[in-house]
A and B are shown apart, each in its own frame.
Chain A
Amino acid sequence: MNYTWRNNPNTVARLVNTKKIQTISNQETVLKPNEACALIVDGKIGDIITETLVKNLAGGFTRWVGDKFGATAKDRRLLFAMTGPMDYWIPFEGNLSSGEQVLGNANLRMRIDLENVPKLLNYFSNNTTTLTRDDVIRVIATELHSRVISPMISSCESIAELRSSTSLDKFELTTEVQMKNLLSNLGFTLLKAYPNFDKTESENIKANVASLGFKIQQNESVINSVIAGTKQKERLRIAEIESETNIGKAEARSSIQIEMESELKELRKKEEVLEVELNHKQRRNAIVEENKNSKATRAMELFSKVQEEKAKRIAKQVDSRRTVLEILTNSQKEFIQIAAQNGALTPEVIRELLRQQTAQKEIESKTQTVD
């Protein structure tokens, strides 16, 4: 009959008193590579076996008969244990140096070495015969908390510092060193240790703020897109209205233009007529003016001819007078010379000469006034 020592994945080890297994058939079990069994016979630790089929480990008629005759050991106990690595999650809480509370779990990956299986008796001497994961956690949690977790958390200023790789490495080394004694007593070997911190209040607040900010941004973007959409619609509508207006204006402008063009044509016609009339009048006036101007020109020409004639006549008169005067002067000079040569230049002669001269001038002046 197959004996099952482990029916729960949380079971780590079990101490079995074979005397309490009273069955007709013999019990046997298969130990897998990650299971071990230490045989404790009459208080002595015997073999530690693994990877084998353990036959006749308890029960059975023959063993019962042997017990009755005192042919078997008085006390036989089997200490089963899991030797593979197992994870233990130990919850903790602490406060950073800033006072902020930190919650989390410390993961300890531990293994029971084959030769350390009997050390589990240290546990079973004071506890029940089944060691579960929770029991292991209960036993080591206090020491882990006081020796490793609390000092580490309280030495850190912030959760970021606590989560840094340096802190994680230090946590592992500290756990290795500080927990060695307890784990060694229980027969455990620590393989790996690391803490896992929950979100702190400040991180929650930051996360909320961040998510709020994100939502605000999201809303803003939605609003902006709606506004942009509305503006676009508005622009489209305005463009439509403008185009309609432009079309209307263009239509109105074209009709007005047509009217104006027709009016313009009329006006141009009138303008042409008026221009023709004006030209006609201007030509007539020009002709009239020309006529007037031709008379005045003729008069002016005649006047200038008269003036020329007059100037010629005056010049003739002046020439003749000059000639006369020269003649007279010359004659007077000759007279005086002759008189002087003859010695007849007396005051009476000169006086007579002057008198004739004066009379001459009087005559001349009279003739001038007549002209």
Chain B
Amino acid sequence: MNTMIGLPVEVLPYVRGVQLVLVGYSGYTKGSRIKVDKMVRNEIVRAVGRIRNHMQIILENQYREGNLNLAQNAKICMEECDNLIEDVNKSVSGMQHAFLSGQKSPTKGELKRLIKHDHDVIDMVTKAVNLANSAEQSIALQEGNERQLVLHTTQLVTSCRGFFGARANILAGLSQKKKRK
């Protein structure tokens, strides 16, 4: 727990939650900000990749069976996944040389927001992965409404995309020191 010195106590449950998915997550302690940020982003990309793979399988099967509508829905979900991956890959991550660049240290509130955000995004993406898996399973077992599941997955991925954008706002707030009067 040496790495988690300085973290607000109330975010510890979130850190633990993220650590269940992301081993080595330390919650933006000093000196590991970039590494943790990259770790979170890689996890999101990996999870979204899993959703994409599920959707690709659905697309392939439905295309071969002639169910082009569902294949099209799966394709839309894949495109949404691609967009999210692109957003995550090209998102801001804060700057490395805080002293030279004028980057300010995050406050407890900002750290709390970041960690909670990471937790929520990962939670949301995990839900989307489970939904995508359920959609594929529903097709395989011929039970349930696979179209609904695919569309719900798309909706969740879209939500993730929007939600992930909020992270950029928090990190952007760290780029400039507050001017003291």
Interface residues of A (CB under 8 A from B): 33-34, 51, 83, 85, 111, 113-115, 169-170, 172-174, 176-177, 180, 189, 191-192
Contact = CB atoms under 8 A, between A and B. Distances in A.
A177 B75 contact: no
A191 B49 contact: no
Interface stretch (B9-17, B59-67, B126-134, B144-152): B59-67
20 contacts: A34-B89, A51-B38, A51-B93, A83-B89, A85-B86, A111-B82, A113-B49, A114-B45, A169-B72, A173-B59, A173-B71, A176-B59, A176-B63, A176-B75, A176-B78, A177-B59, A177-B63, A177-B64, A191-B82, A192-B79
A41 B89 CA distance: 26
A169 B49 CA distance: 23
Contacts of B159: none
B178 interface: no
B74 to A, nearest CB: 9
Given A83-B89, A177-B63, A170 B68 contact: yes
Label chain B's interface by main secondary structure. helix
Contacts, number: 39
B29 interface: no
B119 to A, nearest CB: 23
Interface string B44-74: 0100010000001001100110001001100
Nearest to A172: B75
A326 to B, nearest CB: 153
Contacts of A191: 79, 82
Q: Which of B59, B79, B89, B90 has the most CB of A within 10 A?
A: B89
B161 to A, nearest CB: 15
Nearest to A191: B82
B83 to A, nearest CB: 9
